[in-house]
Amino acid sequence: MNHEEQEQTGIAHEPDLYIQGGRPLRGEARIEASKNAVLPILSATLLTPDAVRLPGVPWLHDVDTLSRVHKALGTDLQREGHDLIVQTNDVDPFAAPEHLVRRMRASFLIAGPLLARFGAARVPLPGGCAIGSRPIDLHLKGLVALGADVQSGNGSIEFRAPRLHGANIYLDFPSVGATENLLMAATLADGWTTIENAAQEPEVVDLANFLCSLGAEVRGAGTAELRIHGVRRLHGAEYQVISDRIEAGTYLVATAATGGDVTVAPVLPEHLKPLLAKLREAGGVIEVHGDTVRLRQSERLRPIDVKTMPHPGFPTDLQAPLMAALSLADGTSVITETVFENRFMHVSELRRMGADIKIEGRTAMVTGVSHLTGANLHASDLRAAAALVIAALAADGRSTIADAYHLDRGYANLEEKFAQLGADIERRTCSEVL
């Protein structure tokens, strides 16, 4: 039975991750290229018929899913060691398969590039982690402003626009995905496009840098106003994707939770600022040297207040991991989630370990307890799974985590990396391998 069938039948899943907690983490964790930058960049390769080489792409399930979407479209996609070589000179913009696109919301990022290059595309409605309703209205409104005719039916969206034209677009919310989709589409549109209230996440900046390496004209990346001048054609390139600030953050938060001493590298410390500020406030000692960040946590965590916000605010993807750590703090922390509705699914599992957490709407009051106790846990989504791993590493006794396959969407070799830092962690069954 695969995990989708298990979810439908409601049958309890076998645990696949075993963690004996209570060991402070020590050592160095190597950080991979950013999942959330690789996914839009891999989508953006659809904008050029020429070959693109991406060195050091981690083999995550989400990367695998998007690669399979590419292959179904007709993309020539090769692995050479850790490099990914992608050429989309012969693709069918109507061939994206529903069962793959539904697996992952980020697959919808193929819509903008396919439409801009081929003048038409069909993309099934996306899925993704179960964290709120996660609509795509901003993507669609923006593509309509760029001149697309958009028709939906049978679970898919069909786009047509023989040639997109530049437009002034104001996003009601600085959505990362919508900004990326529209940015990609605008690179091949006629004239200037302005995206106001654009997302400023480092992954958007990395996408813009990648597009510029293909010959696109993009200004203002990293600010709330993106300006793009469309060109007739983009060419191939070799491009090094930035390192993963969320993966690095996860190892740092685990270090804080276990009272350890860990260096993460290579990282762009600038991208970690919102997290490092909070870890310092919680009593961590942080040293930044070049592309490394070291955290030492020798005392019990101090309680802090955290509100997730679009970048440069505190990243929602680290909210669950940080909550796991703060459930052991010396006092009450207040955590407010403003980016996604329904992103507290880890709370019921943390409570099973003895955490004292009260939820009121989008706010969690986390009163630290002196210790968490190992328990049998169930992972509901990628970052919730990371939170459970952190809680289990810091808890007394043994924990098991079922549906740990969620981790494989975003963390490469997580067990090996934690084991190298001294954790007692073991994967016993192979998660669903795509």
Q: What residues act catalytically?
A: 129
- Specify the residue, 49 or 312, whose C-beta has the smaller distance to ligand UD1: 312
Please say which residue, 109 or 326, places its beta carbon nearer to ligand UD1. 109
Burial status of residue 348 (CB atoms within 10 A of its CB: 0-12, 13-18, 19 or more): middle
Residue placing its CB nearer to ligand UD1 in the complex, 252 or 318: 318
For the CB of residue 338, give the shortest distance to ligand UD1 in the complex, in Å. 9
Contact footprint for ligand UD1 (CB under 6 A): 36, 39, 105-106, 132, 134-139, 173, 175-178, 203, 316-317, 339-340
Tell me the C-alpha distance between 226 and 200, whole Å.
9
What is the rounded CA–CA span in Å between residue 170 and residue 402? 42
Q: Strands of 363-367's sheet, edge to edge?
A: 305-307, 332-336, 363-367, 356-360
User: 189 in helix, strand or coil?
Assistant: coil
Nearer to ligand UD1, 67 or 399 (CB): 67
CA 309 to chain centre: 15
Cis peptide before 15 (omega within 30 of 0): no
Nearest distance from residue 134's CB to ligand UD1, in Å? 4
Minimum CB–partner distance for residue 246 and ligand UD1 (Å): 7
Distance, in Å, from the CA atom of 114 to the CA atom of 121, rounded to the nearest integer, reads 6
**Nearest to ligand UD1 of 252, 425 (CB atom):** 252
Comparison of 218 and 329: residue with beta carbon closer to ligand UD1: 218
What lies within 8 Å, CB to CB, of 134 at 6+ separation is 105, 128, 340
Distance CA 150, CA 243 (A): 35
Residue closer to ligand UD1 (CB basis): 195 or 425: 195
Q: How far is CA 115 from CA 87, 135, 159, in A?
A: 17, 20, 7
- In a 3-state reduction of DSSP, which class is residue 330? coil
CB of 405 to ligand UD1, least distance (A): 17
* Residue facing ligand UD1 at closest CB distance: 177
- Whole-number minimum distance, CB 200 to ligand UD1, in Å? 11
* CA–CA–CA angle 245, 111, 186 (5° rounding): 80
Q: How far is the CB of 148 from ligand UD1 (least distance, A)?
A: 14
| Residues pairing with 306 in the sheet | 335
Smallest distance, Å, CB 177 to ligand UD1? 3
Please provide the DSSP assignment of 369-421 as one string. Answer: -S--B--EEE--SHHHHHHHHHHHHHSBSEEEEE-THHHHTT-TTHHHHHHHT
